[in-house]
Amino acid sequence: MAISKKRKEELVSQYREILERNTSILLAEYSGLTVKETEILRAKIREMGGEFFVVKNSLAKRAFEESGWAHPENAFEGPTAIGAASEDIPGLAKILVDLSKEKEVFRVKAGIIDGELFDAAQIRSLAELPPMPALQAQLLGVLNMPGSQLARVLAGSMRQVVNVLQAYIDAKPEGAAA
């Protein structure tokens, strides 16, 4: 069934809005997923603050070009879906990569993250990162470590000075001037 010119313009406009709302886009081939599996995937992505859309290749390619987004040459071959997010990009990658491990018919093609192109292998590596709160906690621990170690060293040195002074006072005979 042919799509009218008006409908094509509406779809390109919708795709451009997706690109404007999000800083990162992951492209996937979704053929073979059931409607129920696709809905479950959409719900998971929505929970983490992202979006998931099946797109028409030629129209999505036009929206990318009109929006000034770079895209991989072969990204718009075969059935294509877009996973989009602005905040938890590793979380989005993890959801898509985990599904590709479960279902052979689903595969991550590529991604555009903050204007940089990523291939499927790089997206899989990104998916292995811990969640954002865990990364933030690790970073805070690293930043906090030198300060706490310095405080321990200084506290230890002061204790030693106080112990030496106390030993000196205790060793002096009664009545001697301090």
Q: Is the pLDDT of residue 35 over 80?
A: yes
Strand partners, 43: none
Do 126 and 89 meet the contact criterion of CB atoms below 8 Å apart?
A: yes
Quick one: pLDDT band at residue 97, thresholds 50, 70, 90? very high
How far apart, in whole angstroms, are the C-alpha atoms of residue 8 and residue 6?
5
- How crowded is the C-beta side of 35, counted as CA atoms within 13 Å? 0
Do 81 and 53 meet the contact criterion of CB atoms below 8 Å apart?
A: yes
Quick one: pLDDT band at residue 87, thresholds 50, 70, 90? confident
- pTM of the predicted model over 0.75: no
